[in-house]
C-alpha cells in the first residue's frame, strides 16, 4: 500500500470517500485588496481566465482518480468574465460538486438567479469577523456584501458556508459563541475554518499550537450547536489531528500543481507536461 504524505492524495489512492477538493484558480483578477492576500497585487489586475479545454480535461483526469469535489477559487471567481467557464464545467459534470470561494461582491450586486439551474454548485463566503474586524481586514463594505450575498443564496436555497480565515487579529473574536450565533442568525449553518498564512511572514499568523488548542476548546463548547464545522488546517473538525490536515490540491491557471495554497512557487508538476497521476507518482513516497 502506498504511503502518501499528503492526506488528500493518500485518501485518493485508498479509494475512500472524503471531502478532498481539487481547487482551480480560475482567474487571479480581483478588485479588492484584502490585507495579506497571497495573490500578488499586480496579478490581481489580470483578467485572464482558465482555459476551457484545460479545465474540462483536468476534471476528466481527476474524476478517474476519484476526486468528486472541485473548488473555483481566485482571485475572485464570481465576476462577469470568470463565471461562464465555471458554469460550463458544472453543467458538463452534473454528478460532481463545485464550490465557489467568493468575496460576495458580484452576488450581492447582480441578478444571480441563474445559479438556480446549477444544483451541483455550492458557495464559500469569506467573512473574517463582525463588521468592524471584517472590514478592517477585507476592506470597507465587504461585510455588507457577504451578508447580502448570503441572503440571496439562502432565498435560492443554495448550499453556502462561511469561510473564516483565522489570524492573530480575529482569533478570539471568531472563535467565540457570540460570533457563531451571529453567523447562525444570518442563515449560515456550515463553517469552514482556514488558517491565515502568508509567506511575507508579517506576524499575523497564529502559531499552530495556539490554533490547535483554541480550536479544540471551541469545538468542545459548540459540539451540540446546529452547525456543521470543518477545518482543513488542523484536521477534520471533530478529530483535529494536525498530522492529517491537508485536503486540497491547487491548480494554477498555467497548469502548475501545488499542495500549498499560499506558496505559489512550491510546484509539484505542470499538467501541460505530465498527467496528474504521473505528477502524484513522481512526488510522493511509497512504503
Stretch that binds ligand SF4, among 28-36, 111-119, 184-192, 251-259 (CB under 6 A): 28-36
- Under DSSP, is residue 122 helix (H, G, I), strand (E, B) or coil? strand
CA atoms of 111 and 100, how far apart (whole Å): 17
227 forms part of the interface with ligand SF4 (CB under 6 A): no
Binding ligand SF4 (rule: CB under 6 A), the pick from 22, 67, 74, 86 is 74
List, in order, residues 6 or more apart from 86 with CB less than 8 Å away.
26, 72, 77, 98, 100
Centre a 10 Å sphere on the Cβ of residue 34 and count the other Cβ atoms it contains. 17
Centre a 10 Å sphere on the Cβ of residue 202 and count the other Cβ atoms it contains. 11
Stretch that binds ligand SF4, among 72-80, 115-123, 257-265, 276-284 (CB under 6 A): 72-80
33 forms part of the interface with ligand SF4 (CB under 6 A): yes
List, in order, residues 6 or more apart from 96 with CB less than 8 Å away.
59, 63, 68, 69, 70, 90, 120
Q: Which CB atom, from 138 or from 212, has the smaller least distance to ligand SF4? A: 138
CA atoms of 66 and 69, how far apart (whole Å): 9
CB of 277 to ligand SF4, least distance (A): 30
268 forms part of the interface with ligand SF4 (CB under 6 A): no
Contact 196, 205 (CB under 8 A): yes
CB of 53 to ligand SF4, least distance (A): 25
CB of 26 to ligand SF4, least distance (A): 11
In degrees rounded to 5, what are phi and psi of residue 240? Answer: 45, 65
Q: Which CB atom, from 31 or from 57, has the smaller least distance to ligand SF4? A: 31
Q: Specify the residue for cell string 482555459.
A: 51
CB of 250 to ligand SF4, least distance (A): 14
Strands 190-195 and 21-25: unpaired
Q: Which CB atom, from 76 or from 256, has the smaller least distance to ligand SF4? A: 76
CB of 261 to ligand SF4, least distance (A): 11
CB of 21 to ligand SF4, least distance (A): 17
What kind and span of H or E run contains 23?
A: strand 21-25
Using CB under 6 A, list all residues that contact ligand SF4: 30, 32-34, 37, 39, 74-76, 103
Amino acid at each position: 500500500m502506498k504511503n502518501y504524505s499528503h492526506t488528500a492524495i493518500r485518501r485518493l489512492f485508498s479509494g475512500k470517500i472524503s471531502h478532498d477538493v481539487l481547487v482551480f484558480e480560475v482567474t487571479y483578477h480581483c478588485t479588492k485588496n484584502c490585507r495579506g492576500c497571497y495573490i500578488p497585487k499586480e496579478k490581481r489586475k489580470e483578467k485572464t481566465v482558465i482555459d476551457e479545454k484545460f479545465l474540462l480535461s483536468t476534471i476528466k483526469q481527476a474524476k478517474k482518480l476519484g476526486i468528486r469535489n472541485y473548488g473555483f477559487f481566485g482571485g475572485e471567481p464570481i465576476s462577469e468574465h470568470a463565471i461562464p467557464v465555471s458554469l460550463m464545467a458544472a453543467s458538463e459534470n452534473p454528478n460532481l460538486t463545485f464550490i465557489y470561494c467568493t468575496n460576495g461582491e458580484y452576488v450581492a450586486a447582480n441578478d444571480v438567479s441563474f445559479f438556480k439551474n446549477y444544483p451541483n454548485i455550492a458557495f464559500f463566503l469569506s467573512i473574517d469577523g463582525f463588521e468592524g474586524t471584517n472590514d478592517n481586514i477585507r476592506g470597507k463594505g465587504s461585510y455588507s456584501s457577504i451578508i447580502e450575498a448570503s441572503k440571496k443564496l439562502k432565498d435560492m436555497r443554495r448550499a453556502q458556508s462561511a469561510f473564516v480565515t483565522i489570524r492573530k487579529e480575529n482569533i478570539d473574536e471568531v472563535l467565540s459563541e457570540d460570533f457563531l450565533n451571529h453567523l447562525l442568525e444570518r442563515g449560515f449553518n456550515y463553517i469552514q475554518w482556514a488558517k491565515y498564512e502568508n509567506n511575507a511572514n508579517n506576524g499575523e499568523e497564529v502559531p499552530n499550537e495556539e490554533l490547535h488548542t483554541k480550536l479544540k476548546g471551541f469545538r468542545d463548547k459548540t459540539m451540540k450547536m446546529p452547525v456543521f464545522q470543518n477545518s482543513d488546517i488542523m484536521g477534520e473538525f471533530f478529530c483535529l489531528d494536525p498530522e492529517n490536515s491537508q485536503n486540497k490540491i491547487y491548480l494554477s491557471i498555467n497548469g502548475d500543481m501545488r499542495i500549498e495554497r499560499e506558496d505559489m512557487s512550491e510546484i509539484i508538476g505542470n499538467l501541460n507536461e505530465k498527467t496528474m497521476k504521473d505528477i502524484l507518482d513522481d512526488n510522493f513516497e511509497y512504503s
